[in-house]
Homo-oligomer: A and B are copies of this chain.
């Protein structure tokens, strides 16, 4: 009944990139996941290695846990102590970290020496992102919008 000019002030794009950022895009979240990927699982060490304030970090870890990205694993009973581990979902954040590290080491333009990353084969980090279907490498611009869909949604019960 109404058309171009009338209502619906364009709402922000609801896409999977935006949704992913709701979970992973808050400050310190990806750095905390980086630590767990590197085998650091304890609160104090994660706080030290990321530089996050302890109070903020608690909040992030709780959010990531509630989203099923990490899980708290008890390693001491008497004082109850927990460590943080990646779930299957969290482990699959790796490609994001890899892309970020690769972009950064290519395009950062200061001289600051920083820890680099490598593939476990020993080579410098040079990830190639290709399409599982056609095998072609993704080039800038080869990412295109698809239809509206719901996420695959790993079921919350399936922990490792």
Interface residues of A (CB under 8 A from B): 1-2, 4-5, 7, 9-21, 23-25, 27, 30-31, 34-35, 37-40, 45, 48-51, 67-69, 86, 89, 91-121, 123-134, 136, 138-156
Cα(A65)–Cα(B136), bound, Å: 30
Distance, CA A125 to CA B20, complexed state (A): 14
CB distance from A10 to the nearest CB of B (A): 5
Cβ contact within 8 Å between A95 and B51:
no
Question: Least Cβ distance of A17 to chain B in Å?
Answer: 5
Q: Are B129 and A95 in contact (CB under 8 A)?
A: yes
Inter-subunit contact B25/A115 (CB<8 Å) = no
User: A89 CB to closest chain B CB, in angstroms?
Assistant: 4
> How many angstroms from the CA of A124 to the CA of B152 in the assembled complex?
12
A-B contact pairs, 22 of them (CB 8 A): A2-B39, A13-B35, A17-B30, A17-B117, A19-B114, A20-B100, A67-B109, A68-B109, A86-B140, A91-B141, A94-B143, A98-B99, A104-B151, A105-B149, A107-B153, A109-B156, A113-B149, A117-B145, A119-B133, A120-B142, A123-B133, A128-B132
